[in-house]
Amino acid sequence: MAVPSELTLEIEETTDTAVVRCRGALTLATAGQLRHEVKRLLLQVRGVTVDFADLALIDSMGLGTMAGLYVSARNAGRSLSVLNMGTRVREMFSVARLLSLFEPAGEANLRIP
């Protein structure tokens, strides 16, 4: 199976929140696209949820982008959350010690299989 090299974003906005559905790969080549859209949304809504259900790949730049967006959201008094991390994506967040920023199980320092 070929590894995707592109990122497709589908954005759904309501009055106070937005959901950004990611499809493909969050990498060095695509992270700027997500950063731009989420930062734009954080100026307009109270909370942004990033849905990784269809995210096949994340690299260190993607992880760094998510960490940076989390800090930006917190500094602006907004929230940023992540839904539907697949096993590989969750493992990358765990190895980078970022899981606790985005998941209640990570906050409790629970081991996730």
Residue 113 belongs to a domain:
no
Phi, psi (5° rounding) for residue 7? -125, 125
> Residue 73 falls within a domain, yes or no?
yes
User: Among 53, 67, 68, which Cα is nearest to 96's?
Assistant: 67
Q: Would you say residue 1 lies in a domain? A: no
Domain contains 2: no
Tell me, what's the pLDDT at 39? 97
The CATH number linked to 13 is 3.30.750.24
Q: Give pLDDT tens digits for 49-101.
A: 999 999 999 999 999 999 999 999 999 999 999 999 999 999 999 999 998 88
The domain in which residue 61 lies consists of 7-107
C-alpha distance from residue 64 to each of 1, 27, 28 (Å): 26, 10, 10
**pLDDT over 80 at 6, yes or no:** yes
Q: Evaluate whether residue 86 is within a structural domain.
A: yes
Q: Which two tokens stand for residue 8?
A: 């497709």
Domain count, the chain: 1
The pLDDT score that the predictor gives to residue 5 is 81
The one-letter amino acid code at 103 reads E
Q: How far apart are the first and last CA of the chain?
A: 24
